[in-house]
Structure 1
Amino acid sequence: MADQPHDGHVPAPVQRKAVADTGVLVAAIRAHESTRDDRLFTDPYAARLAGTAGLAMLERMVADVGERSTTQIVVRTRFWDEALLRATGTVRQVVILAAGLDARAYRLAWPAGTTVFEIDQPAVIAAKAELLAGERPRCVRVAVGVDLADAWAGVLTSAGFDPARPTVWLIEGLLQYLDEAAVHALFAQVDALSAAGSVLLYDIVGKALMEAPFMATLLRSMAEQGSPWLFATDAPGELAAVHGWSSRVTDVAEPGHAWGRSSAPAAPLDAAGVPRGYFVEAVKPGAEPAIAGSSHTSWPG
């Protein structure tokens, strides 16, 4: 399939590096979670991927804004772990966009025949290959070194991706770093590459959350690192719905409360002005939703 034109609304080179560096911090958060007695997941590779630099970044962040700042990343890791395994019950082609130092190819119990494509900048792909040398993934793992600012669709198909087959897409922890035009361009490209029955998983920062006074310190810290948050929305399902996908939206606080990481239950989704983040699971019409059966919310309709 031909690459879709990209309008250039992507992070500048310096920001791209800073966004890549956040992968080290996320790996440190996963490593720390893996040491807890009440851990929501175990990532045996996270400490190695984070290294001393990542652990130092985590220590500084916790000192600046508190450990609560790591909760959303911990909850989203568990949430997407479960969603990916549900979706690959019927769809065996997976693409993780801006995969960073994600180790799911190595640690999840993928169904037989699953192929996981990991897309990220070539330097990130190379660093992970070095850090995980000798480890065997639990799926067919295909590392694709290309920046999402470039013509990545052609590189992906050249690596063996088949746009005629349904795909499970994961966009995790990325969208807040893109401006609105880049977000819409990314969703258009994913839609163009997706066969009927494909599943799209993504998380979004709510606009009310980004504008909340208690977020000021964290936002300032991210900006100082060169990775400012640029995008937020309180209509997260619309990003997929505009392309005809059916969306199911979950407030991050809902699984967070169920798993003991949020003290208060989630407010109703139709309550306006509530600071929150969102998980979205969407399916492209043409086949039965591969994501039905979640205990958190009901499928629309």
Structure 2
Amino acid sequence: MLDEKTQALEAQFVASEVNRLGSEKSTDFSLATYRDFVVRSKVGFRYILYKMRRESQAIMVKSEKEAFVNSGKKPNIEFCGKNIKYQTEAVELVLNDKKLPCFRNLAMCGLVWRCPICSMKILQGRSEQLSDILIEHEKTGNKTGFITLTIPHTKKDTLKETLDKINDNYRRFQQTRWFRNHKKNIIGQVKALEITYTNQNGWHPHLHILYFYKTHNVNQIQSFQKELVSKWVDFRDNNARLVGQDYQLCYNNSIDSYVSKWDIIKEVTAVNVKKSKGFTPFQALKRLVIKDYSNFNQRFFLVERFREYSETTKGKHRLSISPNLFKEYPRG
């Protein structure tokens, strides 16, 4: 049973959809695509997520504006959640293989960085893949390590500058003789990129990496990870601080912590966004939706941060799993 606040938000959303459908073509019907999206009940979560997608659709990046001016072509996110690409087929409410209600014949933009609904669906699928791989890896008795790598930055640095630097430096770091000598003890890795923003230091992209080792020797792994962090701090022009890095062995609780780094549900339903020292881009989108700002300048600031983030992350990988892990654990 939904609480009164949730019911009110749901009713408001349904009313808005009814009014919108009265003035739009039936082929422009906007619905959710996440498999169990229909049954979620966290304080208007569905209502907020729909509104977040619409807010994101309204924040066009430079390349989209140029394409629209030159050819009238709308960005892919404009069609997300609509059956506009399937005009000969009606949208259907069906049960998926888990017997949960979902909609069929909907277009998806697949923008994992920008669209909160597609991001949730994609990352949920990756989470299930990772879980299967971890189960198979644990059966071998070998261990998994968790590394967090950061670089220093200031408020003057653009997201492109810091993002390019950490990605390029990690790629070059893996090509060093030291890393290649130790790579033989690693089956593969899962690399997740997280981006936050603080008013004090600006954009803060950082890497969360899981290494799947070919050994169960804890001391050997801890020694390697400690040395890796030390090498990273001194690598090239990183000039990083040791305090900003982290390394640990992974157990069930730390794996859950790793996955929560890209859990959109927890990110969007967080209640302390404004009070925290920073925010994620999706939390900025949520603040725009619920009008969690004091004046026009604050709203403009949130819009511009999300626009910069959308422009910079286009074509980048948010989460990558080494092909070697799928070869080693084909059931993963």
> Normalised by the size of structure 1, how large is the TM-score?
0.27
Which structure has the greater CA radius of gyration?
2
More helix by share: 2
Q: State the TM-score, normalizing by the size of structure 2.
A: 0.25
